Each structure stands twice: as structure tokens, then as C-alpha cells.
A = this chain, B = another copy of it.
Amino acid sequence: MYKVKEVAETTGVSVRTLHHYDRIGLLKPEEVSSAGYRLYSDENLERLQQILVFKEMDFSLHEIKDIIDRPEFNRKENLKKHKELLLAKKKRLEEIIRTVEMTIDSIEGGYQMENKDMFKGFDMKEIEEHQKKYSEEAKGRYGKETVEKVEKRTAGYSSEDWGEIQNKTDEIYKRIMAGMDYGPEDPGVQRAVADWRRFITDHYYDCTLDIFRGLGDLYVDDPRFTKNIDKYQQGLAAFFKEAIHYYCDQQEK
């Protein structure tokens, strides 16, 4: 049997915390001495360990009580729900990180950031910017129709969709990276490139070979993009561009 201070010292929680856990019924000491002293058993300690574990997972004390006290059913349900919550948190964090990156880049590159973009992820910006630049260059080739189409499409995207996009981007980059030692014409790399193009087509606009080539150029010409891609690995942007060009050449034959 251990008294409060002993428990506190060995587990790292404060005495006050133990009081609190007792009060709310989360961790009742096995015994109470005649003088009212809390006496904890080994089992109590084990339970405390459990509690601490779940606390690490960001559960509330109330939820922890549910999880530990109730049979498996509750536990699983709770965990699953909690996981959703954590994933949502993560997504938000990712968005913010991307925003921060954007902000830094915009300061460095002297770019102007519009308000509505300040709170969005990087990917939408990427697509929009490219679309804009391209449509300026290619003027009459596609009119405003294309641009407007894209805007309409992307406008309806939820944060879930953006999450998916982020995921796909990540996947593509990693696959490209994996082939960097084998040259841009490596079949694995080429498949990744093809998938990327299809993804753009599915989610934004018909990514013709011309446009695609332009996108590849953008990756090295625009420092903001280069930076973002090279975060994965030095030189990835350049390699990506090469791969895209090779892909386009092949397709045209």
C-alpha cells in the first residue's frame, strides 16, 4: 500500500491530481486508513497507468472512465470515434502548415496572397495559379470557359476532398521519388506521372499534354512550387519536370 506522495513520485502525477481522480471516481484508492489517508494498491497503480496511457491519447477523463470501466463494446466505439476526431485535428494542422508555408513563400517571393487563400491549403492555390498563368499564355486557345469550369468545380470541394487531394499528391511525390535513381523514363515513374495527370483531369480540368507540360515547367520555374516539392527531396521538382516531359513526348508519338 502506497501513500499519495509515493504514488505521485513514482508515476509523475501530482498529489492534487490523485485527489481529483478520487473525487471524480476515476481512481479510488483501495483502502483508506483510519485517519483518512489514501492507500493505493498495486492494482490501483496499474489502473493509473492505463489512465495515463489514454490521457496521452487525448481522451477526456470522463471518456477514460467509460473506456476502462465498461466492457469491450464501449471501448471500441470510443476509440473509433476518437480516431475520427484526431484525424480531423490532423487535417486542420496540415492545412495550417501549408498556409504557413504559403505565407513564408509569399513573403520571400513577393507574391500577394489573397484573403480567401490565406485559410486554404496549398493545393487549390497550385491548381488555380497554374490555370491562371496558363490561360493567360494560351489566351484564345481556351477561353474563359475552361477557367470558369475549374472554379465551379473546385468551389464545391469540402475539406474532406482537399484531404484526399493532399493524400494523392503525397503518394505521387513518393512514387516519383522512389524512382529518382532510375531516370525519368523508368516505368514506375512514368506510371506515377500518368496517374497524376489522370488525377488532375478527374478533379480539375482536362489536362491536355500542352497544359501538363506547362505544369511541369512551372514546377521548376516558380520557386514557390519548387520549394514545396523539393521539401520531399532535393531535386525532385526538376526530376518531376523531366519525367513529365518524357511522358508527354511519348504520348505524342
Interface string of A107-132 (1 = CB under 8 A from B): 11000000110110000000000000
What residues of B have a CB within 8 angstroms of the CB of A182 in the complex? 191
Binds B, one of A18-26, A72-80, A135-143, A219-227: A72-80
Give CA–CA (A42, B53) in the complex, Å. 43
Give CA–CA (A52, B95) in the complex, Å. 11
Q: Does the CB pair B49–A115 fall under 8 Å? A: yes
Give CA–CA (A188, B181) in the complex, Å. 12
A80-97 residues with Cβ-Cβ distance < 8 A to B are 80, 82-83, 86-87, 89-90, 92-94, 96-97
Interface size range on A against B: 35 or more
Give CA–CA (A94, B108) in the complex, Å. 30
Give CA–CA (A90, B93) in the complex, Å. 7
Q: Which residue of B lies closest to A49 (CB)?
A: B118
Most chain B beta carbons < 10 A, residue from A11, A96, A101, A182: A96
Give CA–CA (A186, B50) in the complex, Å. 43
Give CA–CA (A154, B174) in the complex, Å. 26
**A103 on the B face (CB < 8 A):** yes
Q: Does the CB pair A86–B93 fall under 8 Å? A: yes
Q: Does the CB pair A57–B100 fall under 8 Å? A: yes
What residues of B have a CB within 8 angstroms of the CB of A92 in the complex? 12, 56
Give CA–CA (A108, B192) in the complex, Å. 35
Q: Which residue of B lies closest to A104 (CB)?
A: B79
Q: Does the CB pair B58–A79 fall under 8 Å? A: no
Q: Which residue of B lies closest to A72 (CB)?
A: B107
**A1 on the B face (CB < 8 A):** no
What residues of B have a CB within 8 angstroms of the CB of A86 in the complex? 93, 96-97, 100
Give CA–CA (A179, B192) in the complex, Å. 10
Partner-B contacts on A (CB < 8 A) = 10-12, 42, 45-46, 49-50, 52-53, 56-58, 72, 75-76, 79-80, 82-83, 86-87, 89-90, 92-94, 96-97, 99-101, 103-104, 107-108, 115-116, 118-119, 170-171, 174-175, 178-179, 182, 186-188, 191-192, 195
A to B CB contacts below 8 Å, 11 in the list = A12-B92, A45-B118, A49-B99, A52-B96, A53-B100, A56-B92, A56-B99, A76-B108, A79-B100, A90-B90, A179-B191
